[in-house]
A = this chain, B = another copy of it.
Amino acid sequence: MNPSDENSGERITDAEHAVMEVLWDRPRQTAAEVCEEVCGKRGWSLATVKTLLSRLVQKGAIAAEPDGRRFLYTPLIARDAYVGGESRRLVERLFGGRAASLVAHLAETEALSEADLDAIEALLKELRP
Contact = CB atoms under 8 A, between A and B. Distances in A.
A80 B91 CA distance: 14
A36 B84 CA distance: 33
A95 B116 CA distance: 12
Contacts of A124: 117, 120-121, 124
A127 B99 CA distance: 18
Contact of A107 (B98, B117, B123): B123
21 contacts: A14-B93, A17-B93, A84-B109, A86-B90, A87-B90, A87-B102, A87-B105, A87-B106, A87-B111, A88-B111, A90-B90, A91-B106, A99-B106, A100-B115, A100-B116, A100-B117, A100-B120, A100-B123, A103-B123, A117-B127, A120-B120
Given A90-B90, A100-B117, A107-B127, 14 more contacts: A83-B94, A83-B105, A84-B105, A87-B105, A87-B111, A88-B111, A99-B106, A99-B112, A99-B116, A103-B116, A103-B123, A104-B119, A117-B128, A121-B124
